[in-house]
Amino acid sequence: MPLKDKYVVEKRHITNRSNRSRRSMSADYAAGHETANNNANADAHVRYFQNNNVQASYHQLCDSVRIVEIIPLNEQAMHIRRDMDRQTLGLGRANDRAVGISICRTGSFAEAYDRFVWATAKACVDRGWDPRKEITAHSFEDPSRRSDPQSWLTPNGVSWSQFINDVARYVRDWEKDTDEPTKAEEKRPSVSTGRENMLQNGDRGDAVEELQKRLEAAGFPLPRWGADGSFGDETEKALRDFQTAAGIQVDGIFGPQSNDALNEWRQGTRSLKRGDRGNSVRDLQRLLNQVGFNLSDDGIFGPKTEDAVKEFQSTYGISSPSGNFFGVAGPATMAELKEVAKGVPFSGRSLKLQSPMMRGEDVKRVQLRLQISADGIFGPQTDRAVKSYQREHGLSSPQGNFYGVVGPATWDHMF
């Protein structure tokens, strides 16, 4: 049986007009989501969207048993708030142009993930999309409010880049016989339930005792029961306190992300957040200024520093699974910031307004320096900002024929 026939999409289209607009749509890309409900499978979500007026919906829902379509793919669904949509791919608003596909949290994560990959790949194959260019995440479009689907992929050991790679492999192997393991199946995450290799309230044993000792060593005490090997409310509170301080998903469950964060914490890597003061904050502010922000390096993490961190994270797609370190400079943010702040030599590619519009990390760097929306697309706004920068710094050539073009002279002046 070919891979394309591995699953069946059950079409159970809802009729609730609050959640189904019935407006036609030219589907140009896919947007990944997760349902953020530990107790609701695809069936439960079908009932929810049918019976509740929430003005929200996905096109398809994937759990460990089925793939259900509740809105036809040629109709608009309401899966990303229009007023918060950053349109990072430059292909139009998600509610007007994107297919919303969501993974459910119930059952076997590996089975649900495989269906999530397959459904996304099917949308790409059917419409001729390039998975590396035409798939976005809710977290990228509305990072100040949402962090899915990474909020469920990351705790289960799957990065966003692995997801994209798995979809691309399924697209490539679409006509292959499923008796031959596809690369996506070979790369399935090691956990199979979303809870294996994790610790949570109610667990007991040596692994829990080890966690408790690590929490105490990191400065999150267990004054009543100590490291007794029993994961109760006190341990959960200490873990939640640590997750909050580390700027990672706050769920009271100890998994790969919490383990990595605890390792980093014990090595002295601490997150910086609003209200912090000192030389570490001053170093952060100086790095932010190097990439284009205009902050006072006073060593006080106030609202302007927080806004700059949020803008940088939005630009480079850095967000914790739960979104609750958005605006907090944790290890991932600091590493990316240091990399960007290094500066890179001029690539030889002059950046300018043209059709089709130029895209890329070098465009993002210029936009950050110009303190405009850094979507990586050299459009009219970027063109105007470049011209303004060149006028201000006297960078136009005598003939004006590189006016609005970021060539070697403008690049070197910026960086």
Structural domains in the chain, sorted by start: 3-186 (3.40.80.10), 206-266 (1.10.101.10), 279-341 (1.10.101), 361-414 (no CATH)
Tell me what percent of the residues of the chain surpass a pLDDT of 70: 88
Average pLDDT rounded to a whole number, residues 49-61: 93
pLDDT at 323: 43
pLDDT at 35: 93
State which of 140-144, 283-287, 345-349, 372-376 shows the largest mean pLDDT.
283-287
pLDDT at 312: 82
| Mean pLDDT (the chain, rounded) | 84
* Block residue for tokens 């994790």: 198
C-alpha–C-alpha distance, residues 191 and 198, integer Å = 9
Identify the band that residue 325 occupies on the pLDDT scale cut at 50, 70 and 90: low
C-alpha–C-alpha distance, residues 155 and 255, integer Å = 6
C-alpha–C-alpha distance, residues 39 and 49, integer Å = 15
Identify the band that residue 244 occupies on the pLDDT scale cut at 50, 70 and 90: confident
Query: 3-state SS string over the chain?
Result: CEHHHCCCEEECCCCCCCCCCCCECCCCEEEEEECCCCCCCHHHHHHHHHHCCCCCCCCEEECCCCEEECCCCCECCCCCCHHHCCCCCCCCCHHHHEEEEEECCCCCHHHHHHHHHHHHHHHHHHHCCCCCCCEEEHHHHCCCCCCCCHHHHHHHCCCHHHHHHHHHHHHHCCCCECCCCCHHHHCCCCCCCCCCCCECCCCECHHHHHHHHHHHHCCCCCCCCCCCCECCHHHHHHHHHHHHHHCCCCCCCECHHHHHHHHHHHCCCCCECCCCECHHHHHHHHHHHHCCCCCCCCCECCHHHHHHHHHHHHHHCCCCCCCCCCCCECHHHHHHHHHHHCCCCCCCCCECCCCCCCECHHHHHHHHHHCCCCCCECCHHHHHHHHHHHHHHCCCCCCCCCCCCECHHHHHHHC
Average pLDDT rounded to a whole number, residues 225-235: 91
Identify the band that residue 102 occupies on the pLDDT scale cut at 50, 70 and 90: very high
Average pLDDT rounded to a whole number, residues 74-87: 90
Say which residue, 239 or 178, is predicted with more confidence. 239
pLDDT at 268: 52
Two structure tokens written together for 68 = 């259900």
* Greatest pairwise CA separation for the chain in angstroms: 77
Tell me what percent of the residues of the chain surpass a pLDDT of 90: 37
**With 80 as the cut, is the pLDDT of residue 337 above it?**
yes
pLDDT at 399: 55
pLDDT at 274: 84
pLDDT at 16: 92
Say which residue, 326 or 195, is predicted with more confidence. 326
pLDDT at 50: 92
pLDDT at 398: 54
Average pLDDT rounded to a whole number, residues 252-280: 75
Buried-exposed string 147-176: b where 16+ CB fall within 10 A, e elsewhere: bbbbbbbbbbbbebebbbbbbbbbbbbbee
**With 70 as the cut, is the pLDDT of residue 231 above it?**
yes
Q: 36, 56 in Cβ contact below 8 A? A: no
C-alpha–C-alpha distance, residues 212 and 214, integer Å = 5
Identify the band that residue 220 occupies on the pLDDT scale cut at 50, 70 and 90: confident
Average pLDDT rounded to a whole number, residues 72-82: 93
**Interhelix angle for 206-217 vs 256-266, to 10°?**
40
Q: CA neighbours within 13 Å on the CB side: how many for 245?
A: 17
Say which residue, 360 or 214, is predicted with more confidence. 214
**pTM score over 0.85:** no
Two structure tokens written together for 247 = 């700027």
pLDDT at 183: 43
* Block residue for tokens 């610790």: 199
